[in-house]
Structure 1
Amino acid sequence: MSTRPVRVGLDVGGTKIDAVAVAPDGEILGRLRRPTGWGEDAVVDSIVQAVTALARETGLALTDIGSVGIGIPGVVDVDGGRVIHAVNLGVESLDLAARAQAALGMPFRVENDVKAAALGAAVLRGASESMAYLNLGTGVAAGIVFGGRIHRGARGTAGEVGHISVDPNGRLCGCGQRGCIETFCGGGALAKAWGRPGALPVQDILDAADAGDPAAIALRDDLHHGAAAAVRVLVLSADVETVVIGGGLTALGSRLEDGIRAALRADAERSAFMSTLRLDERIEILAAGSPAAAFGAALIGASVSEKEIVFHG
């Protein structure tokens, strides 16, 4: 790991990059957001520009930056620094770490965005117990952290709860299965099932449900019960102490949180075993505007290997 002090983390999304500069003691020195380009060359250029702009606004020289970590959607080859099938960015196969490093002359590491967010959320909470981060957005995925370390599993798929089928007769999922958790509580699947125009389809579903629309009520129930199923799977399979829920759907606020808690309590009322787990008390909603994903990426950027424990500070 570089002896230079500042670590930079980038959360690269389909429309924007959230960038943070992190001091050795974990203090966030600066933060900015910039648009993300489309296509492999534009993504690299956007990342280079985000790092240089962050350094300029924070009063840093590029030589003050010891490492850069990138959290990005898609399949990530952590050791090779390669991103594959990041469809929302127009990326098929990109040697991201090598190209960014060649442009800026500093070491880069790349991680899946949800796993980066899981690590960042765990460290920012300051808790040492096991934790899962459940991302409810267009799709559904999770990351698991034990003792400050991302748990990847044998082939890197630990936490892919969105593609666990809970209803073999349910809606067709993009993965080819039916009734996956994502078909119940993923924003994209809900919008498709709703089938009505609107800029915020999940919010429209909740509004229509409040007004008594039967189709909307059914989809609202799907959202809450699907997210509750994801929490249940994470606790029963990984035995994490806490499930932190983040992602775009958390903008729904208490309409999401209260519904998930109610669904978990309803499950507990039907099962003495589930009641003992007290799942409704083991979820948290990530604070709005949290830099968890970018912060986690900064920690990953400073790590030597994906098996190293990444410490705060």
Structure 2
Amino acid sequence: MRIGVDIGGTKTAAIAVADDGSFGEPLRRATGFGAREVLDSAEASVRALAARAGLDVSAFTSIGVGIPGAVDNANGIVSHAVNLGVSELALGRELGERIGVPVRVENDVKAAALGAHRLTTDTLATASLEADRPALDRPTADGVGAASGNPVGGSMAYLNLGTGLAAGIVQQGVLLRGATGTAGEIGHLPIDPAGVLCGCGQVGCLETVASGSAITRMWPSRAEYPALELFELAAAGDARALAVQRTFFEGVAAGVRTLVLTVDVDRVVIGGGLSALGDPLLRGVRGVLADWSSSSPFLASLALSERVRLIPIGFPAAAFGAALVGVK
């Protein structure tokens, strides 16, 4: 049995993955702020999983951790995880010393990409992505929870729509990293020279129109979930909401187009917090891609809208992918 841990800005989720690929309900707890606190949260999550299973932590064969920031996956070091208050942490070594089990560390989006890739290589699971996106709240014998028996093939991009925007690219089961590990950072691809200033220091980045922070900026609101309010008002026909929503859809569609034109992936799976917007999001992005294709025979030949899918609600992509990282 192996462990996958997804360390987020506010919560840490951990799952235990059996040898047959099945997994149970994720265990969630608050993520501490600061290097020591993050390490403590990860350790507590692993020990809580062991206790829930009635096992000693030594029974786990490996631990994989997905975490935001710049990750030196070869040495298990995370740096510049600003939202976690971590400037640099040898997470792999220190957590391994505490637990006594080998630990591997990966960027959270890249870990989620591995999880989504394994999910979508399964024929039945792929079919479920095209259906009504049922919640996946328990392991199954032949679906998402039982991925280990399936061939890992094809190419996929995982487009993470969260506070920011980034992608993880997997080809034949292998992460595409690039020379410095920045492959997939399409959120910082400038698309509008007259756009707004991005947090990275550039102007008009894709992230400024296709992310949770972009919606918050374009749709100022006191609502707890501005994106949900935006979509509800757009569905009701509010003209301003429709305009902002269209800009957002175009940004996400531009991300899909970029991934297909640069890497020619078989499929683009949209995940992250905003994927919970569900079918309206998928229809909107596919609609924009269809509009663009109607005026471009070249884009039409690429069948862009047919390559886009949503991650199923409830599938712990980052934690599951982290468990896969742990066995590398």
Instruction: Report deviation, 1:153.
Output: 1.1
User: Is 2:305 the counterpart of 1:280?
Assistant: yes
Residues paired across the two proteins, number: 298
Q: Which residue of 1 aligns with 2:33?
A: 38
Q: TM-score with structure 1 length normalisation?
A: 0.91
Q: Which residue of 1 aligns with 2:174?
A: 149
Amino acid of the structure 1 residue aligned with 2:17: V
Output aligned runs, 1:1-313, within 5 Å: 6-28=1-23, 31-127=26-122, 128-303=153-328
Amino acid of the structure 2 residue aligned with 1:78: N
Would the aligned equivalents of 2:4 and 2:321 in 1 still touch at CA under 8 Å? Answer: yes
Instruction: Report deviation, 1:66.
Output: 1.4
Would the aligned equivalents of 1:22 and 1:30 in 2 still touch at CA under 8 Å? Answer: no
Moved more, 21-30 or 144-153: 21-30
Would the aligned equivalents of 1:30 and 1:58 in 2 still touch at CA under 8 Å? Answer: no
Query: Residue 209 of structure 2: SS of its match in structure 1?
Result: helix
Instruction: Report deviation, 1:86.
Output: 1.2
What is the RMSD of the two structures over their aligned residues, measured on CA atoms?
1.4
Instruction: Report deviation, 1:201.
Output: 1.1
Instruction: Report deviation, 1:30.
Output: 5.7
Distance 2:251 2:24 in 1: 38
Amino acid of the structure 1 residue aligned with 2:157: A
Distance 2:32 2:105 in 1: 17
Distance 2:81 2:247 in 1: 27
Instruction: Report deviation, 1:41.
Output: 1.0
Query: Residue 56 of structure 1: SS of its match in structure 2?
Result: helix
Instruction: Assess, with a 3 A threshold, how the Cα gap between structure 1 residues 30 and 189 changes in structure 2: closer, same or farther.
Output: closer
Q: Which residue of 2 aligns with 1:3?
A: none
Amino acid of the structure 2 residue aligned with 1:160: E
1:96-126 residue CA offsets vs partner (Å, 9 max, x unmatched): 1121112111111110000000001111223
Would the aligned equivalents of 1:30 and 1:54 in 2 still touch at CA under 8 Å? Answer: no
Would the aligned equivalents of 1:70 and 1:297 in 2 still touch at CA under 8 Å? Answer: yes
Distance 2:320 2:280 in 1: 27
Instruction: Report deviation, 1:207.
Output: 2.8
Distance 1:252 1:30 in 2: 22
Instruction: Report deviation, 1:227.
Output: 0.4
Q: What runs of 5+ residues in structure 2 fail to find an aligned partner?
A: 123-152
Fraction of identical pairs, as percent = 51
Amino acid of the structure 1 residue aligned with 2:264: D
Instruction: Report deviation, 1:212.
Output: 4.6
Would the aligned equivalents of 2:64 and 2:104 in 1 still touch at CA under 8 Å? Answer: yes
Distance 2:249 2:220 in 1: 19
Distance 1:166 1:269 in 2: 21
Distance 2:299 2:166 in 1: 23
